[in-house]
């Protein structure tokens, strides 16, 4: 399975999954249809699935046009998003599985950003390859999503699930927020040498207009403050030794950053 990153809107990423043997494709969170259709035309591939993580328009805005073009496409989303995702036919819950080509993904329920948010995790095919996590707006490179419909406790639980995935997991998050996320991270974890080095690498990449997605989960575990709420450095920065309060205070600080 090939993952093709497509830029959309101002800072969104759409992910096209391509199975070259069957020449079929699936798309994750199509913010708009046009760039997806252009990529499909280049591949001469048939779109068979739309995997939505949540209902926000910058993740589902292309659904209707893609459905019009590919009438047999199957539209997936969380069961709690019923009525909010255009064209949704399959209503997924924690532990469900979805198939694409010869790969199978686990559905992870990750509320917080929205009440119905889900993520899709494709395990590695072999021990020396990477897994792939499509996490929408729950986990970002260097950050996490705002809490629009959920609570800090829900988001903490969701991020705990994602943090437990294997280190060799590629994190395909839906926005290019990495540089600003790391700028904030340095204000609360500035003594972290890996974070300092990562910031310089990301700053140079963005100066060259290069994407910073995907990230690797092992890097996130060491440098993303929203996966490090149990570290003394982060707890000291927000003056709390309670994990939930630490997370909530970090998220509040980021909201004002």
Catalytic positions are 54, 56, 58-59, 113, 137, 175
Helices (H), the chain: 34-43, 57-60, 63-69, 152-163, 178-188, 193-207, 217-223, 232-238, 243-255
Instruction: Return the DSSP state at 79.
Output: G
d(CA 51, CA 98): 9
Rounded Cα distance between 149 and 114, Å, is: 5
Residue 175 DSSP code: B
Contact 87, 67 (CB under 8 A): yes
Tokens at 237, concatenated: 């920065």
| Residue 58 annotated as lining a ligand binding site | yes
Alpha-carbon span 31 to 183, nearest angstrom: 26
- The answer to the question of whether 55 is labelled as a binding residue is no
Q: Is 117 annotated as a binding residue?
A: no
Give per-residue burial for 224-247: e unless 16+ CB within 10 Å, then b: bbbbbbebeebbebbebeeeeebb
Q: Does 137 appear as a known binding residue?
A: yes
| Burial label, 212 (beta-carbon count in 10 A; 0-12, 13-18, 19+) | buried
Distance of CA 102 to the CA centre of its chain: 22
Give the strands of the sheet with 169-173, arranged side by side. Answer: 97-100, 103-109, 118-122, 131-136, 169-173, 215-216
Confirm whether residue 18 is marked as ligand binding. Answer: no
Which residues are known binding-site members for Zn(2+)?
Answer: 54, 56, 58-59, 113, 137, 175
């Amino acid at each position: 399975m090939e993952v093709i990153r497509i830029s959309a809107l101002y800072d969104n990423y759409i992910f096209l999954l391509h199975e070259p043997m069957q020449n079929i494709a699936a798309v994750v969170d199509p913010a708009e249809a046009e760039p997806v259709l252009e990529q499909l035309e280049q591949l001469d591939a048939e779109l068979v699935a739309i995997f939505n993580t949540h209902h926000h328009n910058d993740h589902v805005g292309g659904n209707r046009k893609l459905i019009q073009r590919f009438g047999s496409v199957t539209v997936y989303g969380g069961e709690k998003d019923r009525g909010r995702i255009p064209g949704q036919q399959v209503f997924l819950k924690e532990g469900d599985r979805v198939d694409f080509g010869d790969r199978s993904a686990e559905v992870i329920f990750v509320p917080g950003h929205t009440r119905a948010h889900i993520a899709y995790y494709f395990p590695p095919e072999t021990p020396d390859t990477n897994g792939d996590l499509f996490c929408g707006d729950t986990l970002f490179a260097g950050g996490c999503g705002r809490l629009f419909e959920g609570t800090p406790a829900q988001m903490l639980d969701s991020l705990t699930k994602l943090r437990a995935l294997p280190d060799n997991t590629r994190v395909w998050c839906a926005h290019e927020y990495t540089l600003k996320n790391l700028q904030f991270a340095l204000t609360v974890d500035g003594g972290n040498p890996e974070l300092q080095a990562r910031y310089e690498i990301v700053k140079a990449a963005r100066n060259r207009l290069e994407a910073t997605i995907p990230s690797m989960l092992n890097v996130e575990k060491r440098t993303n403050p929203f996966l490090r709420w149990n570290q003394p450095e982060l707890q000291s920065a927000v003056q709390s030794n309670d994990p939930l309060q630490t997370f909530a205070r970090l998220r509040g600080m980021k909201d004002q950053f």
